[in-house]
Amino acid sequence: MEVQETRVQTDRIFTIPNILSMARLVGVPVFLWLILWPEFGGPKVDGWALLVLAFSGVSDYLDGKLARRWNQISSLGRILDPAADRLYVLSTLVGLTWRDILPLWLTVLLLAREAMMGVMLLILRRHRYGPPQVNFIGKAATFNLMYAFPLLLLSDSSGWLGTVASVFGWAFTGWGTTLYWWAGILYVVQVRQLVRADATAD
């Protein structure tokens, strides 16, 4: 794990990558409302929820790519991008668990990993390090889960489409959960190494 450098290429707030990340954040409550609407007597609008989630996936890809290509990497962007990822994961977990599509034990397992990462961030901040740079395994885990969740939502429909979505959705869920914890354990090991190095330096 490489701790992110404090130097950034721009301090501008309203860059195209940051605007994309802001739009993703605005989409979080909309997405959660669309998923839970049937639970409160509204119509089932999973198609619209899937469109919001698809927009999130596309914008997640674009904001990082454009920031690097246009030299618009910023400190704000480094906060907004992972925050949007985690909020979409959290809102999807809440929505799918509420609708009994996702078992509670799996939700607890994924939330426990998020809690562990929160503790790691606090430790890094205490030692005056910035948030860790996302590694390849962490990106792969998010990629798998972002495919898994819409497929699981689609599996709630009837017919062959729901059956196929269920098979692939649970496959991506298994891979994503495993990689999610693997990446988390690597972060813990590397944060521990940084803390030990600081203690030795002192």
- pLDDT per residue as tens digits for the range 76-108: 666 777 777 778 888 888 989 999 999 999 999
Percent of the chain with pLDDT over 70: 85
Domain with 166 in it? 16-201
Does 149 reside within a domain? yes
How much is the pLDDT for 134? 67
Does 6 reside within a domain? no
- Secondary structure of the chain: what % helix, strand, coil (to 5)? 80, 0, 20
Cα atoms found within 13 Å of the Cα of residue 137, Cβ hemisphere only? 12
Strand partners, 10: 74
The rounded distance, in Å, linking the Cα atoms of 144 and 168 is 11
CATH classification at residue 131 = 1.20.120.1760
Q: Is the pLDDT of residue 3 over 90?
A: no
The rounded distance, in Å, linking the Cα atoms of 98 and 120 is 29
Range name among 2-16, 78-92, 166-180 with the lowest pLDDT average: 2-16
More confident residue, 114 or 60: 114
Q: Are 164 and 182 in contact (CB under 8 A)?
A: no
Give the mean pLDDT of 65-73.
72
Does 35 reside within a domain? yes
Does 1 reside within a domain? no
Domain count, the chain: 1
Does 3 reside within a domain? no
Does 97 reside within a domain? yes
